[in-house]
A = this chain, B = another copy of it.
Amino acid sequence: MAQHIVVIGGVALGPKAACRFKRLKPGSTVTMIDQSGLISYGGCGIPYFVSGDVSEARELSTTSFHMVRDVTFFKDVKGVDVLTLTRATRIDRERKQVHVENVTTGETTVLDYDKLVIATGATPRRLGLPGEDLAGVSYVCNPDDATRIRDGIAKGEVGSAVVIGAGFIGLEMAEAFADMWGIETSVVEITDQLMPRLVSPTLAAMAQRHMEEKGVGFYFGESVRALEGENGRVKRVVTDKRTLDADAVIIAAGVVPVSELARDAGLAVHDRGGVMVDEYMRTSDPDIYSGGDCAVVKHLITGQPAFLPLGSMANRQGRVIGTNLAGGEARFPGVVGSFVVKLFETSLAGTGLSLEAALAAGYDAVSVLQVQLDRAHFYPTKELMTLEMVVDKKTRRVLGVQGFGSSGDAMVGRINAIAAILPRNPKVEDISNLEMAYAPPFASAMDVLNSLANVADNVLDGINRGVGPDGFATLWNSNGEGTCHFIDCREEADADGYVQRNPGRWHNIPQGELRQRINEVPRDRTVVLVCNTGARSYEAQIILDEQGFDDVINVQGGMAAIKKYGIEL
């Protein structure tokens, strides 16, 4: 039976659902509407267009083989009718009609549907700041905004830029400004770390330090009060603590789902916005589907509604909707929250829950840190990778893994391996045995992911008692009283400079000599053991445990983590 489908929204999920449906039911018809003139573009590519990695905005709206995904393309190639500059004003569920309006002419009309897809997406969170309308202030929500920013840069109008918000888009935009154009770039963030809630303060500090080395300034725990301009153009950002020069301001304070249309039609909508859908991507009306940036889906770990506005989600969910529109029973069970962001030569990535998110969700969780080479130590392109695993103490269930490292593909590959198994409730031992493909150019014989789980196993068993670089910083900074005795377990040559710079405070006993030099270790103070990455300090801790020392701590990630974290010794 031929059906008519109406799709509201033509950026990511809408086109995917429409095209999948048409392939399954070529005899049926689809009308896709969008309020803008531009459809089916890769919004996620905008920071890379601003940076110049992508040379033309047009590339964001083409297929892999350079066909522009415009109205004609959708008609000829996909068999989908598209109405641009057309806004849906009301859904009449009883009559199964969508009321629409041409945003240019104001002309209104009514579209009948058998099945409807709501793909209205998300919109940048407005901060309501004085000066938000000044020229040079952008939200980076579409290619037009991006073109304006790039034109401004090309004209030499931008000597300094301020990004408000240290989430994905904020960091990507900060990189774009600082890396490609040498613009003085600052990020102002209201919380006290970048990527808040998504990664630990430790990983955030490592990423921040790398970005600072590349010239990006950060102001955490600051709230923007106003944007000030001259002759209609922005010139300064005023926070509660300082005033920053700014010829360009990017407001990247997150996005909010556009779900008013659904709410007004009486569909179930989450308190904080976002259309509620089941695992078939159906709304509370079985003839209406929704997904992508305007919907909330189930988080597979917490079981709670999750809002994950990502183009990848939209594409996967769009296919499920397309199948189900055609009478199929495809499922989208939910999400674990995988993410990655490139930061200059490094990347920050994760999946599942961070420690903060796990604790907030009520888990009795702990996290462990592991710093290890991403491939065989003798292979020339090796780089250190830092991974953090969040584990439920009682059940040993892995709740999430986050990481920071140099080789982006290598990092995201590890995160994806965890993401793949995470919906199946893996235990720590499952990750210890995870069968990472091995050859020296790609992994260590004991891959960093296996080692990470082994560290978690040892920590849960109480064999490895460690702190991360943040914990080390606290011990180091509070040692005025001399309550801690720091022992560097590396070879003399590696430890020498530290001993000389910290006389009486930093001691060196190579781990291989510890059994013989046990009498040099004090029994009346907390012994803090440090090596390069935490492996030898763990072994040293075991030797001291055996010798009856009862207040010994080893530093997870060792000097590698301490340096990346930014502590000067």
**B338 x A440 contact (CB < 8 A):** no
With A and B bound together, what is the CA distance between A310 and B447 in angstroms?
13
A331 lies within 8 A of chain B by Cβ: yes
Taking a contact as CB atoms under 8 Å apart, the answer to whether A331 and B418 are in contact is no
> Is A413 an interface residue when CB atoms closer than 8 A count as contact?
yes
Inter-chain contact A45/B347, CB cutoff 8 Å: no
A567 to B325, CA, bound (A): 40
Q: For A420, give its contact among B26, B336, B340, B420 (CB under 8 Å).
A: B420
Q: Judging by beta carbons under 8 Å apart, are B436 and A416 in contact?
A: yes
Q: How far is the CA of A331 from the CA of B373 in the complex (A)?
A: 26
If the complex has contacts A463-B24, A494-B65, A512-B77, are A340 and B437 also in contact, measured as CB distance less than 8 A?
yes
Bound: A338/B442 CA distance, A: 13
Give the contacting residue for A409; candidates B377, B409, B418; CB below 8 A.
Answer: B409
The complex places the Cα of A517 from the Cα of B337 at a distance, in Å, of 46
**Nearest Cβ on chain B to A409's Cβ, whole angstroms:** 4
- Stretch with Cβ within 8 A of B (4 or more), from A267-275, A313-321, A475-483: A313-321
**With known contacts A378-B60, A539-B23, A435–B338 Cβ distance under 8 A:** yes
A30 to chain B, nearest CB (A): 14
Interchain CB contact (< 8 A) of A312 among B73, B172, B372, B446? B446
Q: How far is the CB of A452 from chain B (nearest CB, A)?
A: 13
Asked if A181 lies at the interface with its beta carbon under 8 angstroms from chain B, I say no
Q: Which of B45, B379, B417 contacts A413 (CB 8 A)?
A: B417
**Per-residue 0/1 for A232-254: is the Cβ within 8 Å of any B Cβ (1 yes, 0 no)?**
00000000000000000000000
In the bound complex, do residue A342 and residue B378 qualify as a contact, i.e. CB atoms below 8 Å apart?
Answer: no
**Most interface-central of A314, A376, A463, A511 (chain B CB within 10 A):** A376
A435 with B533: CB separation less than 8 A:
no
User: Which of A76, A335, A543 has most chain B Cβ within 10 Å?
Assistant: A76
A315 near B27 (CB under 8 angstroms)?
A: no
Q: Report yes or no: B435 in contact with A335, Cβ–Cβ below 8 A.
A: yes
- Decide if A182 is an interface residue (CB 8 Å cutoff): no
Measured CB to CB, the closest approach of chain B to A481, in angstroms, equals 31
Contact B377 A438 (CB under 8 A): no
Query: Can you offer 12 A-B residue contacts whose CB atoms are under 8 A?
Result: A12-B445, A23-B542, A26-B546, A44-B376, A48-B379, A76-B515, A172-B439, A316-B432, A316-B446, A409-B410, A412-B437, A417-B420
Encoded as 1 (CB less than 8 Å from any B CB) or 0, chain A from 18 to 31 comes to 00000110110000
A79 to B540, CA, bound (A): 11
Give the residues from 197 to 234 in chain A that come closer than 8 angstroms, CB to CB, to chain B: none
* Per-residue interface assignment for chain A, residues 365 to 406, with 1 indicating a CB less than 8 Å from any chain B CB and 0 otherwise: 000000011001111100000000000000000000000000
A63 within 8 A of B: yes
- Once A421-B424, A434-B419, A439-B340 are accepted as A-B contacts, the answer to whether A42 and B412 lie under 8 Å apart by CB is no
Residues of chain A having any CB pair with chain B under 8 Å: 12, 16, 23-24, 26-27, 42, 44-45, 48-49, 53-54, 59-60, 62-65, 67, 73, 76-79, 168, 172, 310-312, 314-316, 319-320, 330-333, 335-342, 347, 349-351, 372-373, 376-380, 407-410, 412-421, 424, 429, 432-443, 445-447, 450, 454, 463, 490-491, 494, 511-513, 515, 532-533, 536, 538-539, 542-543, 545-546
Which chain B positions have C-beta within 8 A of A378? 42, 45, 48-49, 54, 59-60, 62
- With A412-B413, A463-B23 in contact, is A351–B315 under 8 Å at CB? no
Partner of A442 from the list B42, B49, B340, B546 (CB cut-off 8 Å) is: B340
**A77: chain B residues within 8 A (beta carbon):** 511-512, 536, 539
Give 18 A-B pairs besides A54-B378, A311-B445, A335-B435 with Cβ atoms closer than 8 angstroms.
Answer: A12-B445, A26-B543, A42-B445, A44-B439, A45-B376, A62-B378, A65-B532, A76-B513, A77-B511, A312-B446, A312-B447, A316-B433, A339-B437, A342-B442, A408-B441, A414-B416, A419-B434, A420-B420
| Whole-angstrom CA separation of A332 from B378 in the bound complex | 27
Taking a contact as CB atoms under 8 Å apart, the answer to whether A437 and B376 are in contact is no
A16→B535 CA distance, assembly (Å): 13
Bound Cα distance A352, B415 (Å): 20
Q: In the complex, how many angstroms separate the beta carbon of A375 from the nearest chain B beta carbon?
A: 9
A340 and B172 alpha carbons, distance in the complex (Å): 32
On whether the beta carbons of A443 and B542 are closer than 8 Å, the reply is: no
Measured between beta carbons, the chain B residues less than 8 angstroms from A372 are 64
- Chain B neighbourhood of A24, CB < 8 A: 463
Tell me how far the C-beta of A349 lies from the nearest C-beta in chain B, rounded to whole angstroms: 5
The chain B residue with its CB closest to the CB of A464 is B23
A416 touches B419 (CB 8 A): no
Q: Which residue on B lies nearest to A340, using beta carbons? A: B437
Verify A546–B440 contact, CB threshold 8 A: no
Contact indicator A450/B417 (Cβ below 8 Å): no
CB-contact partner of A432 in B319, B414, B429, under 8 A? B319
Can you list the 8 inter-chain pairs with the closest CB atoms, starting with the nearest? A413-B413, A312-B438, A409-B409, A76-B512, A64-B377, A311-B445, A338-B437, A340-B437
Q: Provide the residues of chain B in CB contact with A414, threshold 8 Å.
A: 413, 416
Chain B residues with CB under 8 A of A49: 378
Complex Cα distance, B433 from A332, in Å, reads 7
Q: Is the CB of A340 within 8 A of B413?
A: no
Report the separation of the CA atoms of residues A77 and B515 in the bound assembly, to the nearest whole angstrom. 9
- Bound together, the chains give a CA A12 to CA B376 distance in angstroms of 14
